[in-house]
């Protein structure tokens, strides 16, 4: 009986040990699974958060682009107004003191019309050939030496 | 007995009990079926409707305006361009439902717009529903500030404002836009498809006040910007033309007028102005009285051209060899056609007269002589070759074709051949007249006039090349007629003379047709010509409606001279003959 009892006891411990091993594993698995599920649940939040952040940055850039475009258009319009014929005429009168001609006198000059080519004497003395730098003294000296 | 009664009662009771249950069950069943049916109706049959309604409530959409293209002159200077603005409006319902909120919102909005909050509230409450537009073109910075403030009931939508850097220059040529940024007249309407681009759309989630929810879902369909349109118009010439037109109309107390400048070599219109017109800077679309000012009279209105047609008659005579510049006829001062008598404009009789003198003195009898020598078939064939009676094909809407009665018409009579030869009894548009004379300047080639030089888009450039319609007369005939027309200006004293240049031209004075005759108290005075005679770079038509003085040579020729004096040097035409020195008449 004792044997039996011991055996029963023995058998009971073995069984308990046999039960506790898989349950520990199960708990580990369960915890791991929970962590994984938790992480998986957080993933969309992270993705959404990143997307929102990017979206906000994108919107900010779009806003900046729109503002810059509006600014460019405004400046272009301002330039156009400032270079308009009316504005030029007004500036010529108000700032430069010019006046509209009320009459133009034409004086006929007997003789041929001016030549299309610019007269030699009116050409600048500093022509391209004049402005070309002359050779340095050492090059002229080198040139005197016999060539190999 | 009692037991029998009790059994009968029991049996009655036992009979009623199942009936009640059935009724209740049936009622419940009916209700369940009704509810299920209703649910199915709402959830399945009306699914799309309610889905749309829910989305409409939750989602808002905004039209993303496409940046409108710029209209440029031939040298690239903008004549019409756009800047970004905001349209600020108030949802009256939101403000009406919550007066305290409305007051607070108005208090926040008013200072940004520089108006009084009380005035804003009062204006917004004038009507019960809909949107109250506080400003359609609020400056971009202010609009953006309002948009970022997120004021309840206040909507800030992107808009655009058309800017005209040259002011009212070429107003009825450029045209204008409606409130929805679509072209309503002129180039803006004719080239709306190219200028307008394609609008995009922004769909966003909105809150209970209709405001866009920050960082919520948003879908944007981007807009495609409009193309730029480069005209053949030169702003400098256009300005000179408009100043001159205003000057002549004022001097002559005229009803209106038209001036066109064309490059005869290409058919490019360098300037085109008509009066009366509207001001782009002060446009009132709600005023029906202004509607008649919107049309481009140079293209849409016809008139009897008068004696300027004599150059076409003479061209036909020269080209067919019927006459030469030195051909003479005996001008008795009158030509009899059936029951009709044709007289010269000044009732003169000039005796032996050359064809050049016919043009110089603008003799109706000489024109009758040429047309009769030509015959009706040849005369009308040349008239049609020069483009009369048909649209020129100018790239603008609303062009009129004018009318020319030919022998095929029931109402045509032989006297029409003679009257048509000096520009009466037919009608033409100013653009037809200048284009016909440009053909003489261009060695006999009729060009298709055009006003758009280039369309510049993101996809590339579309260049409009000059197009020859046909040869109307030989180059030798064209040069001969050009020299005869030069005699009109330089062969006698003429107010059309241009110092330093030889130019060619012809004046015209035409009656204004009224039922059963002509208006005897008013006329249309015109002058058309080109210069320099031997190598023309510009053709100018000056037409003045109902001037104080009657004749084209007196009214329109001086304007031609002044304009040519400005335009020829500007276009690089060198003075001919003796050199000239300009001496401005200054007081110093």
Q: What residues of chain B lie within 8 A of the CB of A113, using their CB?
A: 574-579
Q: Is A83 on the interface with B (CB under 8 A)?
A: yes
Which of A56, A73, A111 lies at the smallest CB-CB distance from B84? A73
Q: Which of residues 84-103 of A touch B (CB under 8 A)?
A: 84-86, 99, 101-103
Residue with tokens 């400056």: B139
Strands B78-91 and B154-163: antiparallel
Residue of A nearest to B237 (CA): A85
- Closest partner residue to A109 (CB to CB) among B78, B218, B581 is B581
Among the partner residues A71, A77, A103, nearest to B163 by beta-carbon distance: A77
Residue A135 contacts B where some CB pair is shorter than 8 Å: no
Alpha carbon distance B228, B69 (integer Å)? 4
Residue B481 confidence (pLDDT) above 90: yes
Q: Which of A52-61, A73-82, B222-231, B291-300 has the lowest mean pLDDT?
A: A52-61
- Which positions in chain B touch A109 (Cβ < 8 Å)? 578-581
Residue A104: list chain B partners with CB under 8 A: 565, 582-585
The predicted structure's pLDDT at residue A146: 63
Share of chain B above pLDDT 90, in %: 56
A66 touches chain B (CB under 8 A): yes
User: Cβ of A106 and B215 within 8 Å?
Assistant: no
Mean pLDDT of chain B: 88
How many Cα atoms within 13 Å fall on the side-chain side of residue A23?
6
Q: Find, in chain B, the residue whose alpha carbon is nearest to that of A87.
A: B166
Residues B102/B151, Cβ–Cβ less than 8 Å: no
Torsion angle in degrees (nearest 10) through CA of B133, B138, B144, B147: -10
- pLDDT of B226 higher than 60: yes
Is A85 close to B239, i.e. CB distance below 8 A?
Answer: yes
- A109 part of contact set with chain B, CB < 8 Å: yes
| Residue B587 pLDDT | 43
* The pLDDT of residue A103: 72
Q: What is the DSSP string of A57-115?
A: HHHHHHHHHHHHHHHHHHHHHHHHHHTSHHHHHHHHHHTT-----S-EEEEEESSPPPP
Interface of B with A (CB under 8 A): 67, 77-78, 81-84, 140, 144, 163, 165-167, 169, 215, 218, 235-236, 239, 499-500, 565, 574-586
Distance from the B213 Cα atom to the nearest Cα atom in chain A, whole angstroms? 12
Any CB–CB contact under 8 A between A117 and chain B? Answer: no
Give the span between the Cα atoms of B581 and B119, in whole angstroms.
64
pLDDT in tens, B426-465: 999 999 999 999 999 999 999 999 999 999 998 889 999 9
User: Closest Cα of chain B to A69: distance in Å?
Assistant: 8
Q: Which residues of A touch B140 (CB under 8 A)?
A: 67, 70-71, 74
- Record: contact B585-A105, CB cut-off 8 A: yes
Residue of chain B whose Cα is closest to the Cα of A56: B215
Q: What is this model's ipTM?
A: 0.73
Contact yes or no for B580 and A66 at CB 8 A = no
Q: Residue A76 and residue B78: Cβ atoms within 8 Å?
A: yes
**Interface touch A113/B236, C-beta < 8 Å:** no
Structure confidence by residue, pLDDT tens digits, B42-57: 888 989 988 888 887 7
* B-chain residue closest to A114, CA distance: B579
* Residues of chain B contacting A48 with CB distance shorter than 8 Å: none
- Residue B41 pLDDT > 50: yes
Give percent of chain B above pLDDT 70. 94
Q: CB count, 10 Å around CB of B488?
A: 27
Confidence of residue A133 (pLDDT cuts 50, 70, 90): low
Q: Does A145 touch chain B (CB under 8 A)?
A: no
Q: Is A111 on the interface with B (CB under 8 A)?
A: yes
Q: What are the angstrom distances between the C-alpha of B296 and each of B78, B253, B259, B374, B447?
A: 20, 21, 12, 36, 21
Asked whether the predicted pLDDT for residue B1 surpasses 50, the reply is no
With CA atoms as reference, report the closest residue to B227 among B252, B194, B255, B178: B194
Across residues B384-389, what is the average pLDDT? 95
Please give the pLDDT value at position B178.
86
Of the pLDDT bands very low, low, confident and very high (cuts 50, 70, 90), residue A134 is low
Omega into B219 within 30° of 0, i.e. cis? no
Does pLDDT of A3 surpass 50? no
Phi and psi torsions of B410, nearest 5°: -65, -35
> CA B526 to CA B430: how far, in whole Å?
10
The runs of H, that is alpha helices, within B375-512 are 376-385, 414-421, 430-441, 475-490
């Amino acid at each position: 009986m004792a044997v039996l009892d011991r055996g029963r006891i023995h058998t009971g411990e073995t069984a308990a040990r046999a039960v506790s091993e898989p349950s520990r594993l199960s708990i580990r698995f369960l915890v791991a699974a929970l962590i994984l599920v938790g992480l998986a649940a957080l993933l969309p939040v992270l993705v959404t958060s990143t997307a929102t952040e990017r979206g906000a940055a994108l919107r900010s850039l779009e806003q900046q682009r729109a503002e810059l475009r509006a600014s460019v258009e405004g400046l272009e319009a301002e330039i156009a107004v400032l270079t308009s014929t009316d504005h030029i005429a007004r500036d010529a009168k108000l700032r430069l003191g010019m006046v509209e001609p009320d009459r133009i006198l034409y004086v006929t000059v007997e003789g041929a019309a001016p030549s299309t080519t610019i007269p030699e004497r009116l050409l600048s003395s500093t022509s391209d050939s004049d402005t070309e730098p002359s050779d340095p003294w050492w090059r002229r000296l080198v040139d005197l030496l016999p060539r190999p | 007995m009692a037991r029998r009664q009790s059994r009968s009662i029991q049996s009655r009771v036992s009979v009623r009990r199942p009936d009640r249950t059935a009724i209740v069950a049936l009622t419940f069943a009916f209700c369940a079926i009704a509810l299920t049916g209703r649910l199915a109706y709402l959830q399945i049959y009306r699914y799309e409707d309610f889905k749309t309604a829910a989305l409409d409530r939750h989602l808002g959409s905004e039209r993303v305006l496409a940046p409108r293209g710029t209209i440029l002159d031939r040298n690239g200077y903008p004549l019409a361009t756009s800047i970004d603005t905001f349209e600020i409006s108030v949802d009256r319902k939101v403000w009406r439902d919550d007066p305290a909120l409305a007051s607070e919102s108005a208090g926040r909005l008013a200072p940004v717009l520089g108006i009084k909050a009380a005035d804003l509230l009062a204006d917004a409450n004038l009507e019960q529903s809909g949107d109250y537009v506080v400003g359609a073109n609020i400056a971009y910075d202010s609009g953006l500030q309002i948009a970022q403030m997120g004021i309840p009931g206040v909507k800030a939508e992107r808009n655009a404002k058309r800017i005209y850097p040259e002011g009212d220059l070429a107003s009825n040529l450029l045209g204008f836009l409606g409130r929805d940024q679509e072209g309503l007249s002129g180039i803006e309407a004719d080239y709306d498809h190219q200028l307008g681009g394609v609008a995009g759309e922004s769909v966003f989630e909105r809150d209970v006040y209709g405001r866009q929810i920050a960082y919520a879902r948003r879908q944007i369909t981007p807009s495609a910007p409009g193309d730029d349109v480069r005209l053949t118009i030169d702003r400098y010439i256009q300005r000179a033309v408009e100043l001159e037109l205003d000057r002549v109309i004022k001097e002559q107390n005229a009803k209106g007028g038209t001036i066109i400048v064309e490059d005869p070599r290409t058919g490019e219109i360098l300037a085109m102005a008509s009066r009366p017109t509207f001001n782009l800077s002060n446009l009132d679309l709600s005023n029906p009285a202004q509607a008649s000012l919107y049309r481009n009279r140079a293209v849409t209105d016809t008139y009897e051209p008068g004696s300027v047609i004599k150059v076409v008659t003479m061209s036909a005579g020269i080209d067919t060899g019927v006459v030469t510049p030195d051909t003479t006829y005996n001008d008795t001062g009158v030509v009899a056609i059936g029951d009709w008598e044709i007289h010269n404009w000044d009732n003169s009789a000039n005796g032996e007269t050359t064809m050049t003198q016919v043009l110089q003195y603008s003799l109706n009898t000489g024109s009758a002589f040429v047309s009769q020598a030509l015959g009706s078939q040849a005369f009308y064939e040349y008239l049609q070759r020069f483009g009369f009676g048909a649209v020129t094909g100018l790239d603008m809407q609303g062009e009129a074709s004018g009318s020319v009665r030919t022998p095929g018409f029931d109402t045509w009579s032989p006297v029409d051949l003679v009257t048509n030869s000096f520009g009466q009894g037919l009608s033409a548009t100013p653009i037809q007249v200048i284009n016909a004379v440009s053909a003489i300047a261009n060695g006999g080639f009729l060009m298709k006039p055009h006003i758009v030089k280039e369309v510049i888009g993101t996809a590339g450039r579309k260049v409009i090349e000059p197009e020859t319609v046909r040869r109307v007369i030989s180059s030798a005939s064209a040069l001969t007629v050009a020299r005869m027309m030069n005699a009109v200006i330089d062969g006698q004293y003429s107010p059309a003379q241009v110092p330093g240049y030889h130019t060619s031209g012809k004046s015209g004075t035409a009656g204004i047709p009224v039922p059963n005759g002509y208006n005897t108290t008013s006329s249309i005075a015109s002058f058309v010509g080109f210069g320099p005679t031997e190598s023309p770079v510009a053709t100018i038509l000056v037409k003045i409606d109902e001037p104080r003085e009657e004749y084209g040579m007196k009214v329109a020729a001086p304007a031609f001279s002044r304009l040519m004096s400005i335009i020829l040097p500007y276009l690089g035409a060198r003075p001919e003959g003796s050199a000239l020195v300009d001496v401005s008449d200054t007081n110093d």
